[in-house]
């Protein structure tokens, strides 16, 4: 049974709360590491509300976040925190996402997080890779089976 259009925002909001809550629980209540980062909030909005957009597709989510955090960490390891490293790192992340055709707007904030929080390469596995995989799998299950949406439009 398809959810009525007027109830989709409610179900999308509940779905967003569930996925972020799951990542927050794993981060705060277990000893399994960090699973949550700030840009995931905007990613969740995109996959449950703007799910038809190219930026909401799994390839864009995964590689957009991965490229952007890598850029931020490289800038952090080589230049450190400064007004020019913050600006340049976001610019480089945007350029790379566009060139590799994996544009995901929330990921553009990842270099800011990497530099501001003095992150190193171990942050890539937890939360970036593992967190994006959980978001992607959750959004596929919820969009396809609960909301009866055709998501994802394309995988890779």
Domain boundaries, the chain: 5-146
Provide the token pair at 99. Answer: 């060139």
Q: What pLDDT is attached to residue 115?
A: 97
d(CA 133, CA 122): 17
State the pTM of this model. 0.95
d(CA 122, CA 84) in angstroms, rounded, equals 24
Residues ≥6 apart with Cβ < 8 Å to 150:
144
Mean pLDDT of the chain: 95
Distance of CA 60 to the CA centre of its chain: 9
Q: Is 82 exposed, middle or buried (0-12, 13-18, 19+ CB in 10 A)?
A: exposed
User: What is the pLDDT at residue 154?
Assistant: 86
User: Long-range CB contacts (< 8 A, 24+ apart) of 25-30?
Assistant: 27/127
Rounded-to-integer distance, Cα 135 and Cα 58, Å: 9
Whole-angstrom distance, CA of residue 150 vs CA of residue 156: 15
> At how many degrees (to 10) do helices 58-78 and 130-141 cross?
160
Using the Cα atoms of residue 26, residue 93, residue 67 and residue 79 in order, give the sign of their dihedral: negative
pLDDT confidence bin for 141, thresholds 50/70/90: very high
Give the whole-angstrom CA distance, residue 126 versus residue 80: 21
What is the share, in percent, of the chain residues with pLDDT greater than 70?
99
pLDDT at residue 104, rounded to an integer: 98
What is the pLDDT, as a whole number, of residue 2? 78
């Amino acid at each position: 049974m398809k959810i009525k259009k007027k109830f989709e925002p409610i179900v999308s909001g509940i779905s967003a709360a569930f996925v972020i809550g799951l990542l927050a629980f794993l981060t705060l209540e277990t000893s399994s590491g960090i699973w949550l980062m700030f840009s995931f909030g905007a990613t969740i909005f995109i996959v449950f509300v703007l799910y038809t957009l190219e930026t909401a597709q799994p390839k864009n989510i995964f590689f957009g976040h991965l490229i952007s955090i890598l850029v931020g960490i490289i800038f952090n390891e080589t230049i450190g925190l400064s007004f020019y490293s913050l600006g340049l790192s976001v610019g480089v992340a945007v350029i790379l996402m566009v060139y590799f055709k994996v544009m995901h707007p929330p990921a553009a904030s990842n270099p800011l997080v990497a530099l501001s929080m003095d992150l190193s390469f171990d942050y890539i596995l937890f939360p970036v890779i593992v967190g994006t995989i959980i978001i992607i799998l959750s959004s596929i299950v919820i969009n396809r089976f609960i909301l009866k949406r055709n998501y994802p439009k394309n995988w890779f």
